[in-house]
Amino acid sequence: MRSDSPSGSFERIAVPGSRLDIDGQFGASAVKGQASATLELAPRPLELALDVMSLRLSVDDPGLPPLQLSLDGQVTLTPSAGSGRIEGGTNDQRVDARIEARLDRERPFVDPRARFDTLDLNRFVAPVQPGAAPASAAASTPVDLQALRWADARLHINVARLLRAPYRVDALELQAQIDNGALDVRRLAGRAWAGSFDASGSADAASGRLALRLRADDVDLHALLTDTLGHESLRGRGRLEADLRSQGSTLGAVRAGLNGRLSLALRPAALRGVDLAQTLRGWRTATQDSVASDAARQTEFNQLDGSFELRDGVARSTDLDGRSEFLRVGGEGSLDLVQGRIDYLLRARVINTAGGRAGPEMVLLNNVTVPVELHGPFGQVEWQVRWGGGTAAVAALSVPNAAIGTVRGVARGATGVARGAAGVLRSVPGALTPGQR
């Protein structure tokens, strides 16, 4: 440490050119840099000020990306309060921050306001290693909220671009408050997954309770699910709303304690794993119920709506409504987020086949409902198309459907219709039922 000669009076002493050179080791990290300021000290009332403050610091840790700080500003500190302003860069990322603090309380109170141009967290933390931890280890990861007890705070943070692989959030705005260990997120908004989101929530260190309220508009659901859950079974773009609550000391306990409601409205959408329209076209030659899941195939919808009620980590749905040109799909079932399993029944009703564009194989299925079961662990879902048990229903509809197909000029399907009318009289496995007219 060194400085120029002090000046002033005992009421206020100025020490210009105060400089601290740093070169050493902190744990596994090598630290090197310089800090300089004009130090002003008032003994009564006690006050310390660092004016024209400058900090240049580099930190090298074998397990982390190098950290470079280049900050300028000023700080004022008394036994009861403090304030400061800094601007500059962290790893060449621009930051401008102001902070006010009250220190004469049981818990200090801080009021920071910060603005970042780009905040790339990948340059500050160790990279995520895909597959480094098994699912059981992830479930046992502790959720520690005790840091909320350290101080009360009022937070205002704005980030033009936040990066943390695989996430990217633009125009991030955070407004939050911490009081006696309870975090109240009044607003968390930004643009992500090609859409926008607006959320609020809370966390309580005393009880471990967590809450989230979210509305996301025009988001790419495939990107959102891939980034957050690692699943790609559902695609679409639209609105997502959630009101969730939970409690727990580990990620697994939080997942098992999830309660609330989630709804989605997608325009358009697609369900990956099977092409229901293509599968139904082969109904006359179907010999078994099971259909192999194929990630390259999907059932496309013009719109897909549904909601889930969550209780103890299990999401149940009864109001699925998917619509495409030739299909109406409803259903009910559950998604077990604790076990990572789906058990769901789809009811696919064939419609609009009279014009012939659906193909002659679909004419006889017009207004027939085909049950399709999905079950199994996430990523290994099995499909079961219940063909049998409803042959009579197809037979009952065969004559009117065939007539409609012929009247509408499906000449090329006449042979297929005849074969189909005969085929329905034979026994085939599964369950086909007439749809509601």
Write down the pLDDT at residue 356: 65
Q: Is 363 left (phi over 0), alpha (psi -120 to 50) or beta?
A: alpha
Which one, of 373, 417, 415, lies nearest residue 397 by Cα? 417
Write down the pLDDT at residue 424: 40
Question: 309 vs 45, 112, 261, 283, 416, CA distance in Å?
Answer: 60, 38, 5, 34, 44
Instruction: Answer yes or no: are the C-beta atoms of 364 and 418 closer than 8 Å.
Output: no
Judged on CB neighbours under 10 Å (0-12, 13-18, 19+), 285 is: exposed
What parts of the chain have a pLDDT lower than 50? 131-136, 389-392, 399, 402-403, 405-433, 436-437
Give domain limits for the chain. 274-305+313-437
* Long-range contact set of residues 41-47: C-beta below 8 Å, sequence gap at least 24: 41/12, 41/13, 41/15, 42/11, 42/12, 42/13, 43/10, 43/11, 44/11, 45/78, 46/78, 46/79, 47/76, 47/77, 47/78
Backbone angles phi, psi at 79, to 5 degrees: -60, -25
Question: How far apart are alpha carbons 273 and 235 in whole angstroms?
Answer: 11
Question: How far apart are alpha carbons 44 and 102 in whole angstroms?
Answer: 19
Contacts of 5 (CB under 8 A, 6+ apart): none
* Letter string b/e over residues 357-372, b meaning 16 or more CB atoms within 10 A of that residue's CB: ebbbbbbbbbbbbbbb
In this prediction the pTM is 0.82
Instruction: Answer yes or no: are the C-beta atoms of 410 and 358 closer than 8 Å.
Output: no
Instruction: Answer yes or no: are the C-beta atoms of 52 and 74 closer than 8 Å.
Output: yes
Q: Count of CB atoms within 10 A of residue 114's CB?
A: 17
Question: How far apart are alpha carbons 178 and 157 in whole angstroms?
Answer: 14
Query: Which residues pair with residue 379 across a beta bridge?
Result: none
The predicted-structure confidence for 161-177, as pLDDT tens digits, reads as follows 999 888 999 999 999 99
Please give the span between the terminal C-alpha atoms of the chain, in angstroms, as a whole number. 88
DSSP single-letter state for residue 436: P
Write down the pLDDT at residue 361: 73
Write down the pLDDT at residue 363: 78
